[in-house]
Amino acid sequence: MTMTVEPAGGRPPTTAPVAAAPEARTRDRFLDVVRLFVMVLVVVQHWWLPVLSVQVQGELSAGSVLSSDGGFALTWISQVMPLIFFVGGAANFFSWRAASRRGEPARVWWAKRLRRLAWPVVPLAVVWIVSCHLIVLGGAPAQPVLVGAGAAGMVLWFLASYVIVVMATPILVAAQERFGWWVPAALLAGAVIVDTVRFSSGVEWLGFLNVAFVWLGVHQMGFRYATGSIGKAQAAWLAGVGGVAALVLAWFGPYSLNMTGVFAAETSNVSPPTLVLAALGALQIGVSVLLRDRISAWVDRPGPARMMDRISPQLMTVYLWHMVPVSVIAGVLVFGLGIDTPEPMTGLWLLWGVLGVVVLIPLILPLAHWAVRFEEPPRMLKGDPGLIRVLAAAALIGGGLLVLTVGGLGFGPLPVIGLIAVISGLLLTAAPRTRVRETVREALRA
């Protein structure tokens, strides 16, 4: 996903490079650095937080560092997904504004974004599903294979949630242009109401309504950044109020101290997302913007700029595919060599984490370089699908990604059902054949 900074609403961003002319674009590498930071921490925590061991019966036990004393403190650093929704908000804002200036209707913009979002999942799911079947047919025990496949599917929760923010973007951009800061305030109020009702009634499923309120609220802050509405003063307020609110709510409120739930048995603030996570997101956004000038000064140098221009297009590919080498290395160590994860929060555990990351980097980078070819949707997925088809496509893609998140990428009916739903949704994003033929005929007549 390429980040560009464009003047919005006739007013250039005060926290981003200002273009020389209204039509000009300047690459905002600050956002690229934020995305890189997020992806690095995601990979590190997916290696470092699980606690793996082989039981007497040959099954893989997958616990979590978060279950150990003080483990929750790590999650206040490792939970950085609010930042990726913030960056995504800026990207969607720039993209939608550019499409609007071209006269592109929302249904066409939705179709393009859905294709770019969902298509990379198809080869990933096929590789995992086929590989899991072949590995088990080759004699490997099914249970540990399913653990790895389940972990690979869990990373797709982000894409399932992102379908919501993509579909909401045109509406929320229009709302922001009219109501400004009242829009994130209203979304925050929605999160407050959901948490209040959830914890007072004990109806846990109500919390999942915050998938919309919390993530849309953080996403909306990306809109505010894109319009230059988050200067240093606003960033300081976000950091201060967000940090204090997160600490007070987590310590004194009915919330978990865990900000993420990688293999954790207990509840966390991410599934479902809570008000604490929204406060942490405000803290992270505020601190990031306060550091923006220093980050930009570094990344705009020729060397770092070339590095980021090369790495940035592959970051989402890294996110999707990194569980392949993570699972392979864990399988070799735990099953092949009989080495269990060391006792958490010890010196040996720290060494395990560092050495694991050192081994993973030379495996992940070439894999991402190969798999980045799947970022571009096939040519058959193009054109104007119409409003009904694109809404149906969003429902199928979002539902399919959710099924893959819950069911994993292993074997059984759920992975197949999820993959079929995603593929069906992708096909619906293409223009109907009759419309394509009519367009060709009109072009020939002209």
Q: Which residue has the tokens 């893959």?
A: 404
Per-residue pLDDT of the chain (446 residues; tens, 9 = 90+): 444 444 333 333 433 433 333 333 457 889 999 999 999 999 999 999 899 988 867 788 888 888 888 888 888 998 999 999 999 999 999 999 999 999 999 999 999 999 999 999 999 999 999 999 999 998 888 888 998 999 999 999 999 999 999 999 999 999 999 999 999 999 999 999 999 999 999 999 999 999 999 999 999 999 999 999 999 999 999 999 999 999 999 999 899 888 887 666 567 898 899 999 999 999 999 999 999 999 999 999 999 999 998 898 899 999 999 999 999 999 888 888 888 999 998 999 999 999 999 999 999 999 999 999 999 999 899 999 999 999 999 999 999 999 999 999 998 899 999 999 999 999 999 998 745 455 445 445 54
Taking only the tens place, the pLDDT of each residue in 119-129 is 999 999 999 99
Mutual orientation of helices 210-226 and 81-101 as an angle, nearest 10°? 60
Give the pairing of strands 26-27 and 50-54. Answer: unpaired
Helix, strand, coil in percent for the chain, rounding step 5: 70, 5, 25
Nearest to 90 by CA among 224, 277, 232, 188: 224
pTM: predicted TM-score of the whole model, two decimal places: 0.89
- By three-state DSSP, how is residue 253 classified? coil
Residue 249 and residue 241: Cα distance in Å, rounded?
A: 12
Question: CB–CB of 125/418 below 8 Å?
Answer: yes
